[in-house]
Structure 1
Amino acid sequence: MRVSADMARCEGHGLCEEVAPSVYELDDDAVVTVAHEKVPPELERLAEAGAQVCPVAALKVIR
């Protein structure tokens, strides 16, 4: 699976990083970055949880 991040939509709330710090990180401008081009199987649940908590739906899980 992959995660697509809409950086223009990201408002830097950081909830994704709180839920899944091994998948999501905010850069110096408080914009989300995804740590893995392809999410490893052991991190898929965390990636999904992080995407779900985004209040502006900036993250999309792609299977």
Structure 2
Amino acid sequence: MTVAKKMQEFAENSSWIRKMFEQGAKMKAEFGAENVFDFSLGNPDVAPPKKFFEVLADLVEGDTP
């Protein structure tokens, strides 16, 4: 089953958000938490790479409107 088809089924059924959370928990148990990426609200909670701050500084200091 393709991911898009699975998402369609989740949307058609009630409580698909909870099912996604439960699937994430199962995957963490099966593959290890370090191998499953949680992109839900507030995650991942890691600092941006150094390059991000370099580009941001260039934009702030530059002449580009």
* TM-score over 0.5 for the pair: no
Q: Which has the higher helix share?
A: 2
The higher-RCO structure (CA 8 Å, 6+ apart) is 1
TM score, norm. by length of structure 1: 0.30
Specify which structure has the higher proportion of strand: 1
Larger-gyration structure (1/2): 2
